[in-house]
Amino acid sequence: MQGLKEELQKIVGGEVHDDDKTREAFSHDTSLFEVKPEVVVAPRNSQDIKNLVSFVNKNRAKDPNLSLTARAAGTCMSGGSLNESIILDFTKHFTHFSVDEAALRATVEPGVYYRNLEKETEPKGIVMPSYPASKSIAALGGMIMNNSGGEKSLKYGQTQNFVEEMNVVCSDGNEYTFKKLTKDELEKKKTQDDFEGELYRRTYDLLENNYDLVQGARPDVAKNSSGYFLWNVWDREHFDLTQLFAGSQGTLGIFTKAKLKLVKEKSHKRLVVLFFDSWKELPEVVNAVLPCEPESLESFDDETLKLGIRFMPEIAKKVGSNLLSFALRFLPEAWIGIKMRGLPKLIVLVQLVEDSEKEVREKIARVERAVKPFKIQHRVIGSEKEADKYWVMRRESFALLRKHVSGKRTAPFVDDFCVKPELIPEFLPKMLKILKDHGIRANIAGHAGSGNFHIIPLMDLTDKTEREKIPVVSDKVYDLIIKYKGTITAEHNDGIIRTPYLEKMYGPRVYALFREVKEIFDPHNIFNPGKKVDGSLEYMRSHINPK
């Protein structure tokens, strides 16, 4: 009797692997889980994906566990790219892209690494600005399907804002193109007597019949990647299913190509660094600085700074400097530390961009006036080269922790909350107390301008009692986030780790709509099951990687 690998190799032109080494490599992402797939397929083209969908539909009755999970770079922190059945590896063949400079648009396949797109756009002075801190290793498939955001999202928003069009292989085995439609165009789609027409009819009916409930479910925060973004699809003027696929973690279909908007970068940049001796003044300072229209307002805590000092040789290498010259760059900060009588508790990076040196200097002056009433130190960084030391420290903090913390490992499970910035001084101590009460220490970095912080707990997951803390702490932290009207994930999405808590966050009526959406697009549950709906705490607990 043939195995799954042999059956799949007959119907796809790409590679099919079921050896232990490959299955082990694809059983992890950057989350705390281990889920070993049965087989890994690198589809060569859209026809391969159509054939796989048809195969799974045909054979699911005799093998109910058959399913398809799309994976790009595997940098997901929520376990969204893990599954026991068939993993689709897009980084081998779906790596084509093009950039239309005049139209400010990129056409990308899901396996395109952001760093390769950036090499093409950067010399042209244009950017896809919703890149995450992990931009050097992230791919566009994950960025779109997780609705990523990063240091520029304060100004530009998340990835969903840049998706203009998507090609998606749906559960009927056909590929469709989705984009924003007018009311007249929507009505034409609804008249189609086919699967695509049914998608439009049923989704429209669900959204129109529950319009107020759906619009009221939108989290009242600057950023969100939790749930299905139903509130973005239909505003009674336009209907846009790309806004449903974005952030859906591949649970509604397999996307093969997307058209993304790009933005023209301003030519002059300067960084103002603010040094705080407590978190108390952060909201007032943020509110004072926001009218200056910074491009980014990022932050990291003293633990992250200590980590950067400890692993300075590695950071120096990242910015292309030798250790001595790199260390000398920190002399001004050392003087600030002396004046503050110790390391700052919090560092905030205020990135200012304009079209001329005169304009950016005027903005610097505005920021300096804005922060003058507060008892904080600040520095205006003289060059982009000098600013790099801060950005690398901010972007690489999670990677440094993952590589170097002895006896413990990064355990991202309450890692991505977002509440209104003015609530942070009240909210954060309560959250950290929950961690402390359970013996968990953590590093903090994030997006101060939007109230989105990344809490990276450090835990010994070889210890069963440590692993058992995860659902207990999650429950308490998410209750607190919901009390403060925040979101349980702003950028990293739901995956295995947060799907069990979606009904808690949105309530049973909205969660029921999520399940209905899943049934409309994926009636046989073949696309990345257990994410977004019907994830369980038992599954989450049993797949925590103890290594």
Domain of residue 123 covers: 97-264
Pair (113, 57) in one structural domain: no
**pLDDT per residue as tens digits for the range 14-66:** 999 999 999 999 999 999 999 999 999 999 999 999 999 999 999 999 999 99
pLDDT of residue 326: 66
DSSP 3-state of 48: helix
Choosing from 64, 89, 114, the residue where a domain stops is: 89
| Residue 39 CA to its chain's centroid (Å) | 26
Q: Is the pLDDT of residue 1 over 50?
A: no
Pair (251, 311) in one structural domain: no
Pair (126, 238) in one structural domain: yes
pLDDT of residue 303: 78
| Residue 198 CA to its chain's centroid (Å) | 30
| Least confident segment among 244-248, 397-401, 503-507, 512-516 | 397-401
Q: Is the pLDDT of residue 320 over 90?
A: no
Task: Give the whole-angstrom CA distance, residue 68 versus residue 143.
Answer: 19
Pair (106, 250) in one structural domain: yes
**pLDDT per residue as tens digits for the range 374-400:** 988 999 998 887 788 788 777 766 666
Pair (123, 181) in one structural domain: yes
Q: Is 412 a domain residue?
A: no
Pair (205, 147) in one structural domain: yes
Q: Is 311 a domain residue?
A: yes
Pair (286, 321) in one structural domain: yes
**pLDDT per residue as tens digits for the range 449-498:** 999 999 888 899 999 999 999 999 999 999 999 999 999 999 999 999 99
pLDDT of residue 133: 87
Pair (201, 274) in one structural domain: no
Task: Report how many domains make up the chain.
Answer: 4
Q: Is 306 a domain residue?
A: yes
**pLDDT per residue as tens digits for the range 197-254:** 999 999 999 999 999 999 999 999 999 999 999 999 999 999 999 999 999 999 999 9
Structure tokens at 440: 């968990």
Q: Is 167 a domain residue?
A: yes
Task: Give the whole-angstrom CA distance, residue 15 versus residue 22.
Answer: 12
Q: Is the pLDDT of residue 309 over 90?
A: no
Claim: this prediction has a pTM higher than 0.75? yes
Task: Give the whole-angstrom CA distance, residue 161 versus residue 261.
Answer: 8
Pair (275, 243) in one structural domain: no
3-class secondary structure per residue, 211-246: HHHHHHCCCCCCCCCCCCCHHHCECCCEECCHHHHC
Pair (104, 84) in one structural domain: no
Pair (277, 232) in one structural domain: no
Choosing from 89, 109, 137, the residue where a domain stops is: 89
CATH at residue 313: 3.30.70.2190
Pair (399, 288) in one structural domain: yes
